[in-house]
Structure 1
């Protein structure tokens, strides 16, 4: 109830509500969607329309852990199918399925843009490069131990993403302004009495930014789409510093979330919408 009341009158607030529901349940149950419709005054058809339009949302229960294996061309020729087969054998499920105990969901995804490091496996937003079938056991063990406490020795900066506004679905990419050799992500932000543009590196895991105004360390900024001007606010708080996370839709589905606090390096990649 509090989640719905907080966002229902905001522009684009339905997205934030659905993000919060999915964060709580792991998917969007029908009973919750009916409650959202009742409390917001919107039709259930409208609610389902938004929930099915954005691939980051799921109407089916997901496991506590999401394991994704890239099967794009570069990963495929580097024996990604054997990695897929080993995950199937270890988890006892096919791609697109969830284990009976709801611990694991397993899927294959399309090209993630880091072809030189294939085969790529992403588990709960953690990125594993050059995986072979023998490493699947180790990845599952690390997942069970808690990936937040496991050092994943990989350079995430090689992972470019193309992102869109979660409200109007317009691209946030600026191909005319490169950062680290890739099109930058352009948003507008406000903090204190200052309002201006911000450009971020589109390399997942990079913290390089350029801004119109200096942003003091530890400042929490509000992010806005430069096209529709809606605030890019989700319902999830940073697990490291409790600041609001900023959701950005990844091309083809999925979502990347970055912390809104200057200096915090927390981020999360959800590729659940990139199924092949």
Structure 2
């Protein structure tokens, strides 16, 4: 490799959890502008492929960290709300800003997929965040995005209209029952008849923990956070995206 960035483990605290990741910087002296990565759905992790090296080559430091309860981080990401995730992101930004080798007024966010919602919300809450870049970050509510994803992703995988409608029913049932106070474990058991369906693993909620998580964030609407943003926003989409309603998100 002609270019080799410098990588060091870096940790910060949020809500009683220690979040651990990699701080990657150019091999020349700082201070540097910096980026904090905001993970999408699932357990996530600090590995961002070639992004960190490419950013370092362009002169940026970056922080990518393990979500609560994954990798070396403590906590449990499945218990987080969108606001919890945004608060955690702000804590990460403030920890990065505190470093002597970072330009404190030049820390931005890169959020992918669900991380796009979180990045909007974090930047709306902290006007010191310099900019936001989202990659396939939805501009619609979680419920609308998930229903769009099931319709288009399942169809692309060759599932029938009947399969798609059943998957949508299960998603709506999960959200309705958990939000009305039902135990996610009971909801999971009640849907046991469908656990063996070939499309079932493509649901967002396939365990009690993930059912609780998707139900907890389903009604999140990014419109207020988008309206409150005062920093530059670059929103990147792919026209043929099966997971995110691109036209509606671009309008938002």
**Relative contact order, higher structure (CA 8 A, sep 6+):** 2
Same fold (TM over 0.5): no
With normalisation by structure 2, the TM-score equals 0.29
- Relative to total residues, which structure has the larger helix share, 1 or 2? 2
Return the TM-score normalized by structure 1.
Answer: 0.27
